């Protein structure tokens, strides 16, 4: 018997069908963010990342052009099992050398991305970019006091919805369009309500037009604080949740956007009775940073377990959000995405039926004991089998491929 068959029997003895879990896993896409490849730089020629986020490190090999970013991502997905999505930001447009400001972008600036995605059998997701721009430099955009600045960003948001719908229509898969707004104060505001009312108004203007849900779905991402917006963020969790519920847009919960002991895993089941869909930004907060490379850790497993137990893979969209400039960026993509998928597999392999029965029958020690036993079941053999069947490297051999790519491609970039 090979390791996978042995593992299958171990799972079967706890009532888990490992084969069914592998089939299920293959149907779950992860929306993989483009911005790990270039430290959230984009292709507008911006020299500084602003908006309260920061990519630290100066590891060589950052993608500097559209072609480099595509090549790097192609390398990364060749090492990741399954069929996934690519998540772009508006600042990754192809402007063809002309200056195209954020309030002027059009679907044609993303036609190259659509063609590339089509040829690689990828679906695209999207994000308006409300940072790294002169009109966001004082930390306010859609909630700015100045109506001219608000209008500029409202126009950006509207155009991004059009672009997202174009992507979804062209590629036959609804593009998830995630709005994250940087607005907030470093220090104590005199008027907290004002900016929140302004943000409601701006968002209402952006979302006034209707687009078919087969083409695009809007989401609003909350945040607790950013660098330079430590005291007050206009789009806080309560704000975004209330907006999402009353306006019918999705809420995006980023794992790094809450108080340290709060978990987005816990929040999934609190929201599912009230919303048809949710988006998650799977990330890893460490002290001040909300965007370390995702790992196969307790929190990532807890998130996936909540989705699996609710059998909500069709309703909860899993997107990634991390950026690390201190290590090989292709490796960062591979590590974070493989860890996410492995955590999904862990969740699908839980002996949940036995655990639920123990709970129903009041055998609470068994409930705890089973969950503890599940931790050391041979998931490694099942994961290796998934990689083998998916035609991607098994175990750590993906690292050799990243090293070879670094030697032949990344090292020549200065």
Instruction: Please say whether the beta carbons of 274 and 239 come within 8 A.
Output: no
Q: Based on the residue annotation, tell me whether 289 is a catalytic residue of this protein.
A: yes
Chain-centroid distance of CA 341 in Å reads 13
HEC assignment per residue over 28-82: CCCEEEHHHCCCCCCCCCCCCCCCCCCCCCCCCCCCCCHHHHHHHHHHHHCCCCC
Q: Based on the residue annotation, tell me whether 221 is a catalytic residue of this protein.
A: yes
53 near ligand RNT, judged by CB under 6 A? yes
**Catalytic-role residue among 257, 313, 383, 385:** 257
The interface partner of residue 127, options being ligand RNT, Zn ion, none and the CB cut-off 5 to 8 Å by kind, is ligand RNT
Q: Based on the residue annotation, tell me whether 195 is a catalytic residue of this protein.
A: no
Name the percent of the chain in helix, strand, coil, to the closest 5.
Answer: 45, 15, 40
Among 73, 180, 207, 239, binds ligand RNT (CB under 6 A): 180
87 near ligand RNT, judged by CB under 6 A? no
Q: Based on the residue annotation, tell me whether 366 is a catalytic residue of this protein.
A: no
- Give the CA distances from residue 400 to residues 73, 129, 192, 303, 393, in Å, rounded to whole numbers and listed in that order: 16, 35, 52, 30, 10
Q: Smaller CB distance to ligand RNT: residue 164 or 290?
A: 290
Among 218, 289, 321, 350, binds Zn ion (CB under 5 A): 321
The interface partner of residue 333, options being ligand RNT, Zn ion, none and the CB cut-off 5 to 8 Å by kind, is none
321 near ligand RNT, judged by CB under 6 A? yes
Q: Give the torsion sign (CA, 236, 239, 241, 243).
A: negative
Q: Smaller CB distance to Zn ion: residue 39 or 254?
A: 254
Q: Based on the residue annotation, tell me whether 291 is a catalytic residue of this protein.
A: yes
Q: What are phi and psi of 126, to 5 degrees?
A: -145, 160
Q: Smaller CB distance to ligand RNT: residue 320 or 344?
A: 320
DSSP 315: T
Q: Smaller CB distance to ligand RNT: residue 150 or 223?
A: 223
CA atoms lying within 13 Å on the CB side of residue 82? 27
Q: Which of 290, 304, 221, 298 is nearest to 259 (CA)?
A: 290
328 near ligand RNT, judged by CB under 6 A? no
Would you call 174 helix, strand, or coil by DSSP? coil
β-sheet bridge partners, residue 250: 219
Shortest Cβ distance from residue 178 to Zn ion (Å)? 8
Q: Smaller CB distance to ligand RNT: residue 53 or 79?
A: 53
Q: Smaller CB distance to ligand RNT: residue 53 or 344?
A: 53
Q: Based on the residue annotation, tell me whether 281 is a catalytic residue of this protein.
A: yes
**Catalytic-role residue among 35, 113, 153, 180:** 180
For ligand RNT, the binding residues in 6-35 under the rule CB under 6 A are: 35
Q: Smaller CB distance to ligand RNT: residue 8 or 141?
A: 141
72 near ligand RNT, judged by CB under 6 A? no
385 near ligand RNT, judged by CB under 6 A? no
319-325-327-329 Cα dihedral, nearest 10 degrees: 50
Q: Closest residue (Cβ) to ligand RNT?
A: 180
**Catalytic-role residue among 38, 39, 218, 254:** 254
254 near ligand RNT, judged by CB under 6 A? yes
Tokens of 328: 């090989």
Q: Based on the residue annotation, tell me whether 254 is a catalytic residue of this protein.
A: yes
Among 36, 127, 132, 177, binds ligand RNT (CB under 6 A): 127
Shortest Cβ distance from residue 227 to Zn ion (Å)? 14
The interface partner of residue 72, options being Zn ion, ligand RNT, none and the CB cut-off 5 to 8 Å by kind, is none
Cα angle for residues 391, 404, 67 (degrees, 5° grid): 85
Would you call 14 helix, strand, or coil by DSSP? coil
Q: Which of 164, 180, 128 is nearest to 291 (CA)?
A: 180
237 near ligand RNT, judged by CB under 6 A? no
Shortest Cβ distance from residue 38 to ligand RNT (Å)? 11
DSSP 331: H
Shortest Cβ distance from residue 89 to ligand RNT (Å)? 6
CA atoms lying within 13 Å on the CB side of residue 55? 25
Which residues contact ligand RNT (rule: CB under 6 A)? 35, 40, 53, 127, 180, 221, 223, 254, 281, 290-291, 321
Q: Please list the active-site residues.
A: 180, 221, 223, 254, 257, 281, 289, 291, 321
């Amino acid at each position: 018997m090979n390791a996978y068959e042995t593992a299958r029997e171990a799972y079967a003895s706890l009532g888990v069908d490992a084969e069914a879990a592998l089939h299920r896993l293959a149907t779950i896409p992860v929306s993989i963010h483009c911005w790990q490849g270039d430290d959230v730089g984009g292709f507008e020629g911006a020299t500084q990342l602003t908006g309260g986020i920061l990519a630290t490190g100066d590891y060589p090999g950052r993608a500097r052009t559209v072609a480099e970013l595509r090549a790097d991502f192609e390398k990364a997905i060749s090492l990741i099992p399954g069929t996934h999505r690519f998540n772009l930001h508006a600042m990754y447009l192809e402007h063809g050398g002309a200056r195209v400001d954020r309030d002027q972008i059009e679907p044609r600036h993303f036609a190259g991305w659509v063609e590339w995605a089509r040829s690689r059998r990828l679906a695209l997701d999207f994000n308006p970019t409300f940072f790294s721009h002169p009109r966001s430099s004082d930390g306010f955009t859609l909630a700015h006091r100045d109506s001219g600045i608000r209008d500029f960003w409202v126009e950006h948001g509207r155009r991004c919805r059009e672009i997202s719908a174009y992507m979804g229509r062209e590629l036959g898969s609804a593009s998830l369009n995630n709005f994250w707004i940087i607005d907030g104060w470093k220090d104590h505001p005199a008027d907290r309500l004002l900016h929140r009312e302004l943000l409601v108004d701006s968002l209402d203007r952006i979302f006034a037009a209707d687009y078919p849900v087969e083409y695009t779905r809007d989401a609003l991402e909350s945040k607790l604080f950013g660098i330079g917006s430590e005291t007050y963020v206009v789009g806080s969790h309560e704000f975004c949740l209330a907006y999402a519920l009353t306006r019918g847009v999705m809420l995006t919960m980023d794992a790094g956007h809450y108080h340290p002991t709060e978990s987005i895993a816990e929040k999934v089941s609190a929201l599912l009775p009230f919303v048809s869909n949710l988006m998650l930004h799977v990330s890893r907060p460490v002290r001040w940073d909300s965007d370390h490379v995702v790992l196969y850790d307790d929190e990532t497993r807890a998130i996936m377990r909540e989705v699996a137990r609710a059998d909500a893979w069709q309703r909860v969209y899993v997107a990634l959000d991390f950026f690390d400039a201190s290590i090989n960026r292709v490796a960062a993509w591979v590590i974070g995405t493989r860890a996410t998928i492995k955590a999904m597999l862990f969740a699908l392999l839980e002996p949940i039926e036995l655990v639920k029965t123990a709970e129903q029958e009041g055998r609470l020690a068994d409930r705890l004991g089973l969950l503890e036993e599940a931790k050391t079941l041979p998931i490694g053999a099942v994961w290796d089998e998934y990689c083998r069947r998916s035609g991607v490297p098994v175990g750590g051999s993906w690292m050799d491929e990243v090293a070879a790519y670094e030697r032949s491609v990344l090292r020549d970039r200065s």
